[in-house]
Amino acid sequence: MRPADVVEVSCVVDQAGVKPLPIGVVPEHQELLMRAVKQYERLTVEAILNRSRDTAVLALMSHPLVLSYSRATTWSTNTWPPTGTIRGPGSNVAARKTGLPTPYDILIEGGYFCDLIFTGLPGYAKFRERIYGTGFEIMAGAGFYYALALKRLGLRVGWSCDFGSDVFSRFVLDAVRREEIDDSLFRIHNFPIRCLTVSLSFPGERAFVSYVDEVAGPPLAALVRQYRPRCVLLGGLQTGPAHLDLVIAAHDVGALFIWIANRTR
């Protein structure tokens, strides 16, 4: 692994603070898997920054669940629009006027998060102890990351998400407008929907504290059947009848289904 690589580990949180559990020596087969995933992540970032389809294919080929040039190129061919078709603000105006669904390449289901990031902390905070960091930043996260990255790759992205009247919702909505992300599938409510994570960065480690105001959005399966995207991206490991119906809907319209299992609900 490279010095700048970041991995998540299990932690114990008690009155003494956050304590990462020791990992010990990583077995070779697991280390190889971790290296492959990190290589996929680095190439994905490079593809987004350079808007390079070739690099995106390389990223897919390096992922342990793909490992195939033919599958990687098929996916990119089926989802990547021709040169010059990057969507901008108002690009779905014609669809709104005619009443026709906006043609999306990818439909994303995943809430927003507002990330409050503390860096340069001297160590773990203990009970009744106050510590100070040397850096602080607020960033839009979760579904926003997916929508922004895919838009920069030139894909037409629809993001189904709920926002409220709180400051965290407004912060992410402002970021959405700055980046000209399509907001056609947003649902804006007149009550708070606070979704935030406090990230505490220590030397060589991180810890997180999160809070979410749960809100029940419409079944995404109905949106899949309405808009018939080429791909459906589910941001989080979720189970239940509604998500089974989503998988069935994606299959019915011939959409690729991607399940990002980095969190559970």
pLDDT confidence of 237, banded at 50, 70, 90? low
Pick the CATH number of 99-265 from 3.30.420.40, 3.40.1190.20, 3.40.50.2300, 3.40.1260.10: 3.40.1190.20
Report the alpha-carbon distance of residue 53 to residue 182 in Å, rounded.
21
Q: Which two tokens stand for residue 223?
A: 């949106």
Provide the Cα torsion 208, 213, 216, 218; round to 10°: -70
Residue 91 has pLDDT above 60, yes or no: no
Q: 3-class DSSP state for residue 262?
A: strand
Lowest mean pLDDT segment, chosen from 35-39, 163-167, 233-237: 233-237
Average the pLDDT over 166-176 and give the result: 89
Could you say which DSSP state residue 30 is in? H
The answer to whether the pTM exceeds 0.85 is: no
Asked whether the beta carbons of 216 and 188 are under 8 A apart, the reply is no
pLDDT confidence of 74, banded at 50, 70, 90? low
30-49 per-position pLDDT tens digit = 888 888 888 888 888 888 77
The pLDDT value recorded for residue 81 is 44
The pLDDT value recorded for residue 241 is 65
- Helix (H), strand (E), coil (C) string for 107-148: EEECCEEEEEEEECCCCCCCCCCCCCCCEEEEEEEEHHHHHH
Rounded to 5 degrees, φ, ψ at 145 are -60, -45
Average the pLDDT over 178-200 and give the result: 86
Give the list of residues 6+ apart from residue 247 with CB closer than 8 angstroms, or none.
257
Question: Could you tell me the residue ranges of all domains in the chain?
Answer: 1-80, 99-265
Give the chain's mean pLDDT. 77
pLDDT confidence of 261, banded at 50, 70, 90? low
The pLDDT value recorded for residue 264 is 41
Q: Which two tokens stand for residue 74?
A: 């098929």
- pLDDT over 70 for what percent of the chain? 80
Q: Which two tokens stand for residue 39?
A: 């290589």
47-65 per-position pLDDT tens digit = 877 777 778 888 888 888 7
Report the alpha-carbon distance of residue 111 to residue 186 in Å, rounded.
10
The pLDDT value recorded for residue 265 is 42
12-28 per-position pLDDT tens digit = 887 778 888 888 888 88
For 52: left if phi > 0, alpha if psi spans -120 to 50, otherwise beta; the answer is: beta
Sole residue written with tokens 């490992």? 67
Average the pLDDT over 62-83 and give the result: 64
- Which residues in 115-154 are b (16+ Cβ under 10 Å) and which e? bbbbeebeebbeeeeeeeeeeeeebbbbbbbbbbbbbbbb
The pLDDT value recorded for residue 242 is 62
Residue 92 has pLDDT above 50, yes or no: no
Average the pLDDT over 134-145 and give the result: 86
The pLDDT value recorded for residue 77 is 58
The pLDDT value recorded for residue 113 is 87
